[in-house]
Amino acid sequence: MDIMMNPHFHTDFSISDSLIFVRKSVLIYETIIYEIAVI
C-alpha cells in the first residue's frame, strides 16, 4: 500500500481518519480470516 510510504499523506492524517482506516483494515482482515475459516 502506498499510504504508509507517502509522508505527506501521513502528515495530513488526522486521528479520526486513522481510526477509520484502522477499522476498515480490521474489517477486511476479519473478512479474510472468516472466509479462510469457513473453507
pLDDT digits (tens, 9 = 90+) for 1-39: 455 555 555 556 577 788 888 899 999 999 999 999 987
d(CA 21, CA 13): 10
pLDDT at 30: 93
Determine, yes or no, domain membership for 28. Answer: yes
pLDDT at 38: 86
Determine, yes or no, domain membership for 14. Answer: yes
Determine, yes or no, domain membership for 2. Answer: no
Domain carrying residue 17: 7-38
The residue to which cell 473453507 is assigned: 39
pLDDT at 26: 93
pLDDT at 24: 93
Number of domains in the chain: 1
Cell of 25: 483494515
Determine, yes or no, domain membership for 1. Answer: no
pLDDT at 1: 47
Q: Which of 39, 36, 1 is nearest to 21 (CA)?
A: 1
Torsion sign, CA atoms 8, 12, 17, 23: positive
Determine, yes or no, domain membership for 21. Answer: yes
